[in-house]
Amino acid sequence: PRSSRPTVPTSTTRSGAPSASSPPRTSSARVHLDYIEAGANIIITASYQATIQGFESKGFSKEQGENLLTKSVEIAHEAREMFLKQHPDQSTPLRPILVAASIGSYGAYLADGSEYSGDYGEAGTLEFLKDFHRRRLQVLAEARPDLIAFETIPNKLEAQAYVELLEECNINIPSWFSFNSKDGVNVVSGDSLIECAKIANECAKVGAVGINCTPPRFIHSLILSIRKVTDKPILIYPNSGERYDAERKEWVESTGVSDGDFVSYVSEWCKDGAALIGGCCRTTPNTIRAISRSLNQYYPAP
């Protein structure tokens, strides 16, 4: 996600709760619109857990699954178009509104919490992961997003699979790789974050490297680690700090931080070198609104 001013942080988020603002045609687009109105410059499609294999397991045909993936990008485009009709002066070359197509890890498809462990068992081979992700990547790229977001990458193997697919499928849309960590040192599988970041750094098709769905308290040290191996923009969009219970399939609220506490980290992350800043699981449009205000103070508009 390079721009003419890549050092200026940008608010980014996955979609969350709908707003009561003037609704576009679909409720899903209304969710995206809520984040744009809160100040997000990048909206991420609701395709993180959406896979052709997952749709087929629910009785959809392959074609129907592909159409649903395409629709996720179209809905985000729809939200942006509606916002710009209402606010034509709000997107500029320096601060555009971009659509990033989300690609979650194999563990996100399994929905068993393994995106927070990177333990795929017998499925943990390079060729298996490439075969699993290939067609979804192609379909999302064909839908013409501005960016492709490879999110919550839990291990080095899956990062390598993505790099090879970008080359083999001749994807020319700028991508980012974001990993997740539960100790502030390694990715969740135990693989070295530095080694994972090196894989992303060596791929010319990857425009930014960073961290998502990780507690805010770990971000400082993770940024410093990534900076050791890349000059590419660093993006970070942590979760609220809560813990996901894979057995109960819910977030444990008692470990989270408030929007105010979350945003208190923003200036530190800017000083550390983060170029794009936003929120992941359990953050809301209010979080993004607060981040946007903080960034506008740190980097006044030209």
Query: Which CATH number characterizes residue 269's domain?
Result: 3.20.20.330
Q: What does each C-alpha distance from 101 to 47, 134, 144, 146, 248 come to in angstroms?
A: 7, 14, 9, 8, 28
Q: 59 in a domain, yes or no?
A: yes
User: Looking at the domain assignment, is residue 213 inside a domain?
Assistant: yes
> What angle separates helix 62-86 from helix 27-38, to the nearest 10 degrees?
40
Q: pLDDT tens, 69-84?
A: 999 999 999 999 999 9
| pLDDT single digits (tens) 261-292 | 778 899 999 999 999 999 998 889 999 999 99
Encode pLDDT of 183-217 as tens digits: 999 999 999 999 999 999 999 999 999 999 999 99
User: 213 and 281 in contact (C-beta within 8 Å)?
Assistant: yes
Residue type, 75: I
Phi then psi for 198, rounded to 5 degrees?
-65, -40
Does residue 194 belong to any structural domain of this protein?
yes
What residues are designated binding site for Zn(2+)? 213, 280-281
pLDDT range class, residue 7, cuts 50, 70, 90: very low
Q: How many domains does the chain have?
A: 1
Q: What is the CA radius of gyration of the chain?
A: 18
DSSP 247-298: TTTEEEGGG---HHHHHTTHHHHHHHTEEEEEE-TT--HHHHHHHHHHHHHH
Whole-model pTM: value is: 0.88
Q: Within a domain: residue 49?
A: yes
Q: Is residue 157 part of a domain?
A: yes
**According to the model, what pLDDT value does residue 243 have?**
67
The C-alpha atoms of residue 133 and residue 106 are separated, in whole angstroms, by 8
Query: What is the per-residue pLDDT for 263?
Result: 81
- Tens digit of pLDDT for each residue in 118-137? 999 888 899 999 999 999 99
DSSP symbol at 186: B
Residues annotated within the binding site are 213, 280-281
Q: Report if residue 19 sits inside a domain.
A: no
pLDDT for 297 beyond 90: no
Burial of 218-248, coded b for 16+ CB within 10 Å and e otherwise, reads bbbebbebbeebbebbbbbbbbbbbebeeee
Question: Residue 6: inside a domain, yes or no?
Answer: no
In a domain, 22, yes or no: no
Residue with token string 């996901």: 244
Helices 27-38 and 285-298 sit at what angle, rounded to 10 degrees? 30
Give residue 206's domain range: 27-298
Is the pLDDT reported for residue 301 higher than 70? Answer: no
